[in-house]
Structure 1
Amino acid sequence: MVTEEQLPYLLKLLDDEEPAIQSALQHEFAETNGDLSHEIAALAIDLPVRDRMKLSHLLLPGRRETLEHEWQVPHGGADALAEDWDTFESLLRLVSDFLHDGVTLRPSLPDMIDMLAMEAADEIENLSANQLRLWMFESGKFIGNRENYYIPQNNDLCWVADTGFGSPISLATLFILVAHRLELEVSGCNYPGHFLARIHIDGKALLVDCFHRGRLIPVHELLSNNKNISQTAKIAILTECHLGHILSRILRNLEHSFRKDKQMGEALLFRKLHDSLQ
């Protein structure tokens, strides 16, 4: 285990290309939990970008082991997570921690959600699900990451909360989690190819396209004006997507992202995690 006393000396060796030194560094950093951000911050060490990237790579085996070791799915898989908000958020936190670089300091996922909820409560005068939609998405605070749609970071909810960019499902999931903190009713819609959120205004169900600045789609209009809509899409529109199925889709997205980037070790890891929900 790397201690604060050892860390400065190990970091000085990052640029040493001697194979024996690199092998020793790999061994030392693999023995960590994959995150030294608190230790680096405590020592006020400012690493160059190249060293941060190299250290993050060395810490990756530790992050992978931590994710696999702490990944505990309740008996019953995805269906058992239907209303289990604590476990759902805990598993999302593990995913975010794995996708983080392990070097730069940032709040945990629960703290990020707490801060967003408190900020929304302070700034929204008449708090409702629709007002939260306006505050998060129509304002431009959170928008779809069009230019880098497939990057794994789009599924890191801490990264999404910090940068304001995300995928359809990560933006909708953040919306759902912040709303839950504020005791507002927002659910998911597992629409094929483009995940949506669902809210109610004056008793009428509307879908929210969080990726496109929270535009509203009335459910009755979508069903009545689109005769070519598939049966799968109809079921998604009419059925609330529970928490376990949201997590399942996020894991599938991550497998696809890593496969697209030819990172097969990570792709297989997220396939394994996805299968654990079945």
Structure 2
Amino acid sequence: MKTDSGIGEKLPGLVRLMDDDSTEIQKIIRQEILSHALEIILNKEAYFDRLSSDEIARFTQLLQTLHLDLVKQALAGVVQSPLDEIDLEAALLVISYWDSPDVDCGAVQARLDLLAGEIACGMPFTGHPLGFIDHISQVLFGEYGFRGNLEDYYHPGNSYLHTVLETRLGIPISLSIVYMLIAKRLNFPVFGVGMPAHFILKFDNGEDEIYFDPFYGGRVYPRRACLNYLRQLKVPDPEHILRGCSNLDVFKRVLRNLHLVYSSHTIDTAKLDDIEQFLALL
């Protein structure tokens, strides 16, 4: 996750400069905010602690004015990393902010930290990896009740990380992402597998390879069953799919799912246009 580059300390001064009507000063403020877009989105609530209530209101108004540019600049910052190493969590939090500018990204991260901590308390760190998978699945899907939203599958909230954590409802890829982000905190080697019209996970430590399905409560699938399923669908390269996908692939799929939702189910042409701009950045 990206850390604060120091923009938080500059914010009070930048907000006060907003009183200056100079075109050049306003341009400098805009450039400074956009150049730290990712840090601002991820740490916005923490930065508010450094501002007065009036300054918070003015800063929030500025962020609203710059909203789409801020999101695009933040995404550009995320994808500057090598393609297989982009910060998936940061990218998803940026999209949460795009959808809900009031979202507290720090609180979302803290929620994931808490879930990971509670899972770690009873984690069987020795034994067969199936025991690890079963334990995480039991906590997430049993104790916390995360599950597939079969009743409203195409609700846009099923694709936003902050909403999925709040409602505990999602679609295959978003439930898999929650699992992945928690597994990363536990140094547990879990990777996304983009199946046709579905999304599952793979545990792979170089010795054991286990496929399982968060949408169905962590159901485990034999590798041969996954391979046969792909062959039945006449997928050109089943082995390639089973090798797993990069964080960039996962993020693109989230955006494409949202594009489908906003084009076919919850029609929103403005969001469609934004999503197409985001995809063009990747």
Name the aligned partner's letter for residue 193 of structure 2. Answer: C
Identity %: 24
Please provide the CA RMSD for this pair. 3.9
Contact kept in structure 2, 1:117 and 1:179, CA below 8 Å: yes
TM-score by length of 2: 0.68
Cα deviation per residue 1:5-59 (whole Å; 9 max; x = unaligned)? xxxxxxxxxxxxxxxxxxxxxxxxxxxx99x9898xx99xxxxxxxxxxxxxxx9
Name the aligned partner's letter for residue 119 of structure 1. Answer: E
Aligned pairs (5 A) from 1:69-148: 69-73=73-77, 80-84=82-86, 87-100=87-100, 102=102, 107-122=106-121, 124-127=122-125, 128-139=132-143, 141-148=145-152
Distance across 1 between alignment mates of 2:221 and 2:135: 16
1:262 partner SS: coil
> Alpha-carbon deviation of 1:249?
0.4
> Alpha-carbon deviation of 1:267?
0.9
Name the aligned partner's letter for residue 82 of structure 1. Answer: D
Cα deviation per residue 1:214-269 (whole Å; 9 max; x = unaligned)? 21111123335775232247245422111110001001111111222221110111
> Alpha-carbon deviation of 1:76?
7.2
> Alpha-carbon deviation of 1:129?
3.5
Cα deviation per residue 1:156-195 (whole Å; 9 max; x = unaligned)? 1111112111111011011111001001111110101011
Name the aligned partner's letter for residue 263 of structure 1. Answer: D
Contact kept in structure 2, 1:73 and 1:276, CA below 8 Å: no
> Alpha-carbon deviation of 1:201?
9.6
- Find 1:272's aligned residue among 268, 277, 281: 277
For structure 1, list consecutive stretches of 5 or more residues without a partner in the other structure. Answer: 1-32, 44-58
Instruction: State which drifts further: 182-191 or 110-119.
Output: 110-119
- Find 2:256's aligned residue among 246, 252, 260: 252
Name the aligned partner's letter for residue 112 of structure 1. Answer: R
For structure 2, list consecutive stretches of 5 or more residues without a partner in the other structure. Answer: 1-39, 53-62, 126-131
Change (3 A) 1:252 1:75: closer
Distance across 1 between alignment mates of 2:141 and 2:205: 17
> Alpha-carbon deviation of 1:99?
2.0
TM-score by length of 1: 0.68
> Alpha-carbon deviation of 1:144?
0.5
Q: What's 2:168 paired with?
A: 164
> Alpha-carbon deviation of 1:65?
3.9
> Alpha-carbon deviation of 1:112?
2.4
Change (3 A) 1:222 1:240: closer
* Structure holding more helix per residue: 2
